[in-house]
A = this chain, B = another copy of it.
């Protein structure tokens, strides 16, 4: 079931039951596991792995009127690892080195940066911007018009909302600045701005902005201290800002944040864009 218009690169693996629509490009070394559906106008860059039964280029609403697919391209960057049963809509761009768990949904007109991870069952609605090196864990809901900057961590069952007076048509997306941490099961109300290096505690319900390097907890969430006051339970050492103490999967993995950052400044402005989205 491969449409004759498909452009298939070298060393591509296509397992049983895969369906490939019109105007699809699949670069070299891509692997499509059992039963993937690649609808029309999807571009998959080299070395990407698409897990069993994932659906790429899912229909937008305009399909359903006359059951014909309009042109809504989807681009999946290089070296993606998309696990099983993801649904990713058209009109969306996913950067390089994307990794997802199972059964993730990403809606149309959303832009996902490079080196992003999204956990099992998470849903990213339309019109979102997700920066680079963002980690969204399992079963999160990222509402329409959310803006998530680089190096943000979002833990399981977090909900990011957008409608100040539901139901309405006037949305106020949440903004999360770089290096902020949103702990498990917390809730961000429409339009709140979480500033750089802030930490939203587990289960917090955030109804107003959270200042830089601030820890908030509770319902409604209140400031309790600076992130610099939090110590590691095992070592007694300071933990936050986390970029000085954690490096797994980060671009400073081979050295440390400061060395890496200084090397960027030497290296030139064009690299700097990695840390301000």
**Interface residue? A264 (CB, 8 A):** no
Establish whether residues B156 and A143, one from each chain, have CB atoms under 8 Å apart when the complex forms: yes
- Whether A123 lies near B123 (C-beta < 8 A) is no
Select the residue from A170, A184, A233 with max chain B CB neighbours within 10 A: A184
Contact: B138 with A123, CB < 8 Å? yes
Taking a contact as CB atoms under 8 Å apart, the answer to whether B34 and A34 are in contact is no
- Given that A19-B34, A166-B155, A167-B242 are known contacts, is A139 also in contact with B138, CB under 8 Å in the complex? no
Whether a CB of chain B sits under 8 angstroms from the CB of A92 is no
List the B side residues contacting A139 at CB < 8 Å: 121, 123, 139, 141
B156 A159 Cβ-Cβ under 8 A? yes
A interface size (C-beta, 8 A): 69
CB distance from A39 to the nearest CB of B (A): 10
Q: B239, A219: Cβ atoms under 8 Å?
A: no
Knowing A157-B141, A202-B187, A203-B187 are in contact, say whether A105-B87 is a contact too (CB < 8 A): no
Can you list 14 A-B contacts (CB < 8 A)?
A: A16-B19, A85-B85, A103-B103, A121-B123, A123-B139, A141-B156, A141-B184, A156-B161, A165-B239, A167-B246, A169-B248, A172-B233, A203-B205, A203-B219
